[in-house]
Structure 1
Amino acid sequence: MMETIRAAFVIGRRDFTAIIFSKAFFFFLLGPMFPLLVGGAAGLLGGQVARDADRPVVGVAMSIDDSRQLLAARATLAEQVGERRLPELKQLAQSATGIAPEKLLEDKKNGLAAVLSGSLKKPVLTGTSGPIENYRGEIAILSAFASNVDSMDLPIVETRLVQSSAGNEKRKRLATAQATQVLLFMLTMLLAGMVLSNLVEEKANKIIEILAAAVPMDAVFLGKLFAMLAMAFVGIAVWATVGFGLASLSGPALPSLPTPAVGWPVFGLLGVVYFTMAYLILGSLFLGIGAMAATVREVQTLSMPVTMAQLINFFLAMYTVTKLGEPIEIFACLFPFTSPFAMIARAAQDATLWPHLLAVIWQALFVVIILRIGVYLFRRNVMKSGSAGRIKDSGGKKLFGLIKLPG
């Protein structure tokens, strides 16, 4: 194991130095904008998610009769004026009628933007300024319709303003989750392709076979993968420095980002961890593709389906943003190719940390499995012999193939 790690470090240092100080890498840093096209395609799905997330829920804490009449009135009017023109009403348990509306708004399980209490003739709407301003008139119409009052004589809706509610906080965190998912995917797809390009170049020059004869193939793959990961972090550091420099020029004109559920320090750390895991998963898969391909044309043919499949995985992760805790969201968190994107979205909305530890362990195990499969395929398809032939001379020096070098 230690021999493999030392050999992987040597291979990684060699690849990292060769790439960082090349002209190609310098020009590569200048062109990170093309993944925005992928973000535009994902915007169609993101718009649907946003429309689902932007519908605030108004909890109804009235008597049983008033609540039933109000919900029936909403259902009748929704058929005539449209579902989205009316607020979403949620009938609360009868025990909630004795709880202060302010307390109900603080309960994150309800996820309410406002609470409607009182009676149909004297409704009381409690919430933040946004829901009150948007739905005060609709609540008055619904109350009048439910109590069979002439529509020209609407009841006066009493309002009570609070600073925040769980519903507003939930929608803000959804924005953070979506933005982080898009950024994570764009960086992964932009940078992971360097792994495949490097492997294809060295296969064409027969360098990979020389390396395989000198050190264990596991060390070659591991060293190349982590060298590319280090290169990716260098690129991100350069782009982040330029981005923060431009952002500082804008000053207060920039909008404030909603705070994620786990807080910014932990969220930033999880972002780095999940980018690392997403990169290692996709990078190890690209190494396996390079191991199966004999020519550059075969590499391009095999990598295209993988790239398209990764787009589908990303869209699945985006779809589950508003499905927290549902089976489809749990599946996205467990499926290795969507797990990093689904888990970073979960971190933005849920403060529980222990699932992230399990997810990272599972993702790391999956990286090891893919790497081992890639090594096996390389030995079978490229080396043919099943393993690299290596011998040692009397001084303990490793020699290439079965040839003993003089001295």
Structure 2
Amino acid sequence: MPRAAWTVARRDFTAILFSRAFIFFLLGPLFPVAVMALAGGVGAQVQSEAAAANVGIAMPGGELDAMLAARNELANRIGPAVPPMIALERLEPGERFDPRAVLESREGSLAGIVTGTLAAPELTATEGRAARWQGMIGLIAANAAEGGSRPVPPVSTRIVATSGASQNTARLHTAQGGQLLLFLLIMLLASMVLSNLVEEKGNKIIEILAAAIPMDAVFVGKLFAMLGISAVGIAVWGTTGFAILAAGGVSLADYANPGVGWPMFFCLFAVYFGMGYLLLGSIFLAIGSLATTVREVQTLSMPATMFQIIVFFLASLAVTDRNGWMEAAAILFPLSSPFAMVARAAMDEALWPHVLALAWQALCVAIFVRVGSNLFRRRVMKSGPQGAKRESLFSRLGNALFSRGSSGTA
């Protein structure tokens, strides 16, 4: 059975991967992404002033004015690489100022604070922004010195974390974004299973395969072939997206670190995508076995799609009920479990719940595949008129094709 499933999966995977339609499949999401990027650019332009990440300056009056003047001059020469600066506090001689307390309690767009003197400036910011702005602050301080001929002074940094409330809010946004991305990918890619199945049912290829090898192998092979194709598509889209973001200067350091950390979060996201895809794909394959035309597929798949949207809303609502009954229900229900656990990976540092959840989801995948393949077997093998005679004919033809394929002559 594993060898037969591998044969079916390899056949479907290579047939789709090297087809011209697959190129258009990869290009398909670029059009809505381009529209969203244009819309986002317009919105960002409108709100750029309100959403700008400003650097506050808390220095004696004369040095503060010199820093602002030097910043404006460099911005005219260099451009947007120079961070916006605002006058935060004009300090009197001997006056003390705590930038950490201001950053952790102040609302608005303040992302860092420069204190100290022009000869020894100090930048207080988060780790990512401190690393990005350290050199630029030193350059501004050097140009702010009298005559602008002083060497670039060393800029000391104080790393500050956001407050507990801000950290939870940022992680909540990461959890919601991960859930939404997972849902969109699964719903977009799982539909390929239906279209592929209906096409092969129409030209009777599926009946030949079903008569030649175990039906479970056909079912599993097709499911994992579509999962492999989806993984290739996600890899292409993800690589392109990261390249564009990196070229634009966007870094993961600009976002809140998930509970399990970014590397583990991406690994868990990939695993939960596989589990969610197999769960929904097995349901779609079972639905496809009941349909004979594209119209019937659309009619039968609509309730499943609407139900999956409701499941997604349940998992999204469970994010607000940490360690409550709603989160437990979302984790235990198979179709919502991947979404709930992706959110938990963003919010919580513990890894052992993911081990239990993945084991439970793997068991549910096995059950769904078994039930779906049984339904698939009954529907496919009985399709068409004079089923018994057709089975005998397809059985002989399928065994001949499969034996030739195994020996390498086909």
- Bucket of the pairwise TM-score, normalised by the shorter protein: 0.5 to 0.7
Encode CA deviations 1:196-223: one digit per residue, 9 max, x unaligned.
1100100011110000011111000100
Match for residue 178 of structure 2?
180
Post-superposition Cα deviations, 1:221-279, rounded to whole Å, max 9, x if no partner, equal 10000000000011011111211221122115887121011111211110110011011
Aligned twin of 1:262:
260
User: Counterpart of 1:13?
Assistant: 10
Find out whether 1:132 has 2:129 as its counterpart.
Answer: no
SS in 1 for 2:292: coil
| 247-256 vs 362-371, greater mean Cα deviation | 247-256
Deviation for aligned residue 1:179? 1.0
Show the counterpart of 1:22: 19
**Residue correspondence of structure 1 range 76-115 to structure 2 within 5 A:** none
- Trace 1:164-313 onto structure 2 (pairs within 5 A): 164-251=162-249, 256-313=254-311
Separation (CA, whole Å) in 1 of partners of 2:102 and 2:313? 34
TM-score by length of 2: 0.63
- SS of residue paired to 2:29: coil
**Matched letter for residue 239 of structure 1:** W
Quote the residue 1:370 is aligned against: 368
1:391 Cα deviation from its structure 2 partner: 12
In structure 1, the residue corresponding to 2:106 is in which secondary structure? Answer: helix
Task: Measure, in 2, the Cα distance between the counterparts of 1:207 and 1:198.
Answer: 11
AA aligned to 2:352 is: W
- Partner residue of 1:333? 331
Asked if 1 retains the 8 angstrom alpha-carbon contact of 2:285 and 2:376, the reply is no
Identity %: 57
Which piece of structure 1 moves more, 175-184 or 370-379? Answer: 370-379
| SS of corresponding position for 1:251 | coil
Give the deviation of 1:293 after TM superposition: 2.0
- Structure 1 contact 13–227 (Cα < 8 Å) conserved: yes
* CA shift in 2, pair 1:399/1:270, >3 Å: same
> What's the C-alpha RMSD, in Å, of the aligned pairs?
3.3
Q: Which amino acid is 2:254 matched to?
A: S
Q: Secondary structure at the match of 1:333?
A: helix
Change (3 A) 1:247 1:131: closer
The answer to whether the Cα contact below 8 Å between 2:193 and 2:223 also exists between their aligned partners in 1 is yes
Alpha-carbon distance in 1 for matches of 2:250, 2:337: 35
What are the superposed Cα offsets for residues 136-195 of structure 1, whole Å, 9 maximum, x if unpaired?
xxxxxxxxxxxxxxxxxxxxxxxxxx7543222211111111111111111111111111
**What amino acid sits opposite 1:26 in the alignment?**
I
Residue type at the aligned position of 1:178: Q
Structure 1 residues 399 and 173, CA, compared in 2 at 3 Å: closer, same or farther? Answer: same
Aligned equivalents of 1:285 and 1:236: distance in 2? 22
Partner of 2:41: none
Q: 1:229 to 1:278 in 2, by over 3 A?
A: same
Residues 197 and 288 in structure 2, CA contact (< 8 A), matched pair in contact too: yes
Task: Note closer, same or farther for the CA distance 1:379–1:163 as it changes in structure 2 (3 Å cut).
Answer: closer
Task: Please list every run of 5 or more consecutive structure 1 residues that lacks an aligned counterpart in the other structure.
Answer: 40-126, 136-161, 402-407
Is contact 1:280–1:367 with CA below 8 Å preserved after alignment?
Answer: yes
- Gap change, CA 1:12 and 1:252, over 3 Å in 2: closer
Distance 1:21 1:323 in 2: 46
- The DSSP-based 3-state class of the residue aligned with 2:249 is helix
Report Cα offsets for 1:65-91 as digits up to 9, x if no partner. xxxxxxxxxxxxxxxxxxxxxxxxxxx
In structure 2, the CA distance between the partners of 1:6 and 1:168, relative to structure 1 (3 Å rule), is: same
Change (3 A) 1:364 1:250: same
Task: Confirm or deny: 8 A CA contact 2:260 2:349 kept in the other structure.
Answer: yes
Deviations 1:276-305 (A, max 9, x none): 101111111100101122333222111011
Q: Deviations over 1:22-57 (max 9, x none)?
A: 111110111125787xx9xxxxxxxxxxxxxxxxxx
Corresponding residue SS for 1:28: helix
1:322 maps onto 2:320 in alignment? yes
CA distance, structure 2, for counterparts of residue 128 and residue 200 of structure 1: 63
Task: Mark the CA change 1:164 to 1:286 in structure 2 (over 3 Å): closer, same or farther.
Answer: same
Amino acid at match of 2:106: E
Q: What is the rounded CA distance, in whole Å, between the counterparts of 2:31 and 2:335 in structure 1?
A: 22
Q: Distance in 2 between matches of 1:391 and 1:205?
A: 13
| SS of residue in 2 equivalent to 1:322 | coil
TM-score relative to the length of structure 1: 0.64
Q: Kindly indicate whether the alpha-carbon contact (under 8 Å) linking 2:259 and 2:349 is maintained by their aligned counterparts in 1.
A: yes
Structure 2: runs of 5+ lacking an equivalent: 37-99, 109-159, 403-410
Classify 1:335/1:215 alpha carbon distance in 2 versus 1 (closer, same or farther; 3 Å): same
